[in-house]
Amino acid sequence: MGQRVAIYCRVSTADQSCERQERDLTAFAGRAGYKIAGIYKETGSGVKLDRAERKKIMALAQARHIDAILVTELSRWGRSTIDLLNTLRELESWKVSVIAMNGMTFDLSSPHGRMLATFLSGIAEFERDLISERVKSGLAVAKARGKKLGRQRGQRPKSDRLAPRVLALVAEGRSYRLIGRELGLSKNTVSDIVQRNRNAIVAREPNR
């Protein structure tokens, strides 16, 4: 029996079509004797974070339902060098390869594929260092211009945003603990919100 593969096609904009990628990859799978487990298509730019179809393929790989992923080019699969490396590492742990029709192929079952993954790891590390350096440089420039960074003293963005809901639930007689659990706040934070807005509470609070 041939390897089980998932075909992944992606285009960047809605006016483009995955038809050519699907046709070429299906033909490629037939020539190689692969068994197609599914064809997954989506539209989104390379930096788009929410790739629902790619997530489905990763779930198949983790469940060991496929042996490889077919793409026309690695750029169709990875959002960036770091993203590509991270997904390749996950796939390697599940013994699943990414096979590209054009350019580099990461057949992680072969020494050549593992060597390329190691090489990519070095590039990704360099990219991470560059990003870190740019962030530090940007923060230094902002600080030199007198800009205050991070949350300032007295600022409570989350609790201030949720204060109306907290007060409404208190008025309904909910306990601080249950309110905190429902809204993702600590009991103490709920209590602080109540203390700051006591005049806005129109119902008598139950004993706590």
Catalytically active residues, by annotation: 12
> Which residues in 6-17 are b (16+ Cβ under 10 Å) and which e?
bbbbbbeeeeee
For residue 121, CA distances in Å to 32, 46, 62, 90, 131 come to 29, 20, 21, 13, 15
CA atoms within 13 A on the CB side of 167: 16
